[in-house]
Structure 1
Amino acid sequence: MYIPKHYMIQSEDIIYEIIDQHGFGTLFSQHNGEPCATHLPLNLNKEEKTLYGHLARANEQWKDAVDQQVLAVFQGPHCYISPSWYETNKAVPTWNYVAVHVYGQLEIIKDNRTIVKSLSNSVEKYEKPESSYQLKDVDASFVEGLSRGIVAFKMNITKIEAQAKLSQNHSVERRKRVIQHLEESCQHDNMQVAELMKREL
């Protein structure tokens, strides 16, 4: 990923926070000599430095993804930045965003207990604490039957690249004006970008 120096995220904690908060990623690999991508939730294990996920067994991307380096992309908040928000119109539009690229090797998981644990971790992460649904309460034979239709994997991370393009190349005064306009929009991504820009200030 091309990353200008002033946009680079170097803090491992911040990178892991982005992956955790925006865990619906895109897994890229080469399949049959062509680029292939699957959109899927990926769960980070910080201690292992791995990502856990699964593909539908019918999705043949898994068949050759294990023999190559793969890329998982996590897209954080992003939004359009209008030059009309600046103190002058002698400028061009741009886009502010946060993105993390994770490189690694896939390892297929065959142990059923590990597969169920991976699925349970996803449920625990995304279900609300007061939710009546827990995977452990579902009939084990039903879960086992469904698990035959997936290929579970862990991705052993070899490299991470991350950037936050948040108007750092502009003056503090201009960035404050951008933040003000983003907050006035009330759109979720705009509000998140505004909050990240405040941190940078």
Structure 2
Amino acid sequence: MRQNPSFAMTDVGELRRVVEHNPWATLVGSTDDGLVASHYAVLLDDTRDDLTVVGHVGKPDDLILGLGERELLIVFQGPHGYISPSWYGDRPSVPTWNFVTVHLRGVPELLSTEENLRVLDRLVARFESPMPEPRMLWERPNDADFVERLERGTVGFRLTPTSVTAKRKLSQNRPVELVDHVIRELENDGPHHNPLLAAEMRRANDARA
């Protein structure tokens, strides 16, 4: 991803927030046969306070991606959406796309069975907990044999990035008042209604104001 200093994200807390709120990630690897990509939920490592992440892939995606042997790129896509030139008023403008994204690169380490089971347990708890009657990984009708068979079909990993590229392109090159107007347009009902992007822009604009 080409970086632009005006749009660069460097604050680790903000990067962790994007990763935490957007766990459905794209995993990209380079193989002898070309580029490959897979899609999995990836979480921050809860034993660390940096940008280390943990996750799993189903077999044989581990072999396809060269997991543990080759560099892996993990892309976390935050809120994004179309910005109409009409929202910039009576001035020369073109359509654009605002977005937030975080790229983490590194060679992941493979997890032990015990570590992988803990990550799988965390993944289920993360998304199942809000349900009216949550069914966690180890709860009936699942039993230990079922969970252990499930684990054997996956490969867990931990990636501590050796390279981080993060970009927040949210109209920061426009006056604060104009960005406020774009935010209101995104909040309004219409063909490009996008409250998540509006909230991200408001967060960035408030920090800049």
TM-score by length of 2: 0.87
Deviation at 1:108, TM superposition (A): 1.6
Match of 1:119 in 2: 120
Query: What pairs with 1:1-201 in structure 2 (closer than 5 Å)?
Result: 1-45=1-45, 47-48=47-48, 49=50, 50-59=52-61, 60-62=63-65, 64-88=66-90, 90-109=92-111, 111-129=112-130, 130-137=132-139, 138-185=142-189, 190-201=194-205
Preserved CA contact (<8 Å) 1:9 1:163: yes
Alpha-carbon RMSD across the aligned residues, in angstroms, is 2.0
For residues 165 and 76 of structure 2, the distance between their equivalents in structure 1, rounded to whole angstroms, comes to: 11
Deviation at 1:31, TM superposition (A): 2.1
Deviation at 1:188, TM superposition (A): 9.6
Q: Please identify, of 69-78 and 37-46, the stretch whose mean Cα deviation from structure 2 is larger.
A: 37-46
For residues 181 and 20 of structure 2, the distance between their equivalents in structure 1, rounded to whole angstroms, comes to: 30
Letter in 2 for 1:127: E
Question: Identity of aligned pairs, percent?
Answer: 33
Letter in 2 for 1:133: R
Q: Please identify, of 71-80 and 173-182, the stretch whose mean Cα deviation from structure 2 is larger.
A: 173-182
Q: How many residues align?
A: 199
Deviation at 1:46, TM superposition (A): 5.4
Letter in 1 for 2:154: I
For residues 165 and 79 of structure 1, the distance between their equivalents in structure 2, rounded to whole angstroms, comes to: 11
Preserved CA contact (<8 Å) 2:82 2:97: yes
TM-score by length of 1: 0.90
- Partner deviation per Cα, 1:3-29 (whole Å, 9 max, x = no partner): 211211121001001000001101111
Preserved CA contact (<8 Å) 1:77 1:192: yes
Preserved CA contact (<8 Å) 2:79 2:200: no
Deviation at 1:75, TM superposition (A): 0.3
Letter in 2 for 1:25: A
Preserved CA contact (<8 Å) 1:30 1:65: no
For residues 189 and 113 of structure 2, the distance between their equivalents in structure 1, rounded to whole angstroms, comes to: 47
Any unmatched runs of 5+ in structure 2? Answer: none
For residues 86 and 26 of structure 2, the distance between their equivalents in structure 1, rounded to whole angstroms, comes to: 33
Preserved CA contact (<8 Å) 1:79 1:189: no
For residues 153 and 191 of structure 2, the distance between their equivalents in structure 1, rounded to whole angstroms, comes to: 38
Cα–Cα, structure 1 residues 89 and 161, in superposed 2: closer, same or farther, change >3 Å?
Answer: same
Letter in 1 for 2:88: Y
Preserved CA contact (<8 Å) 1:29 1:70: yes
Deviation at 1:89, TM superposition (A): 5.1
Deviation at 1:156, TM superposition (A): 2.3
Letter in 2 for 1:66: G
- Partner deviation per Cα, 1:74-109 (whole Å, 9 max, x = no partner): 000000000111211521000000000011111122
Q: Which SS does the other structure have where 1:17 is aligned?
A: helix
Preserved CA contact (<8 Å) 2:187 2:193: no
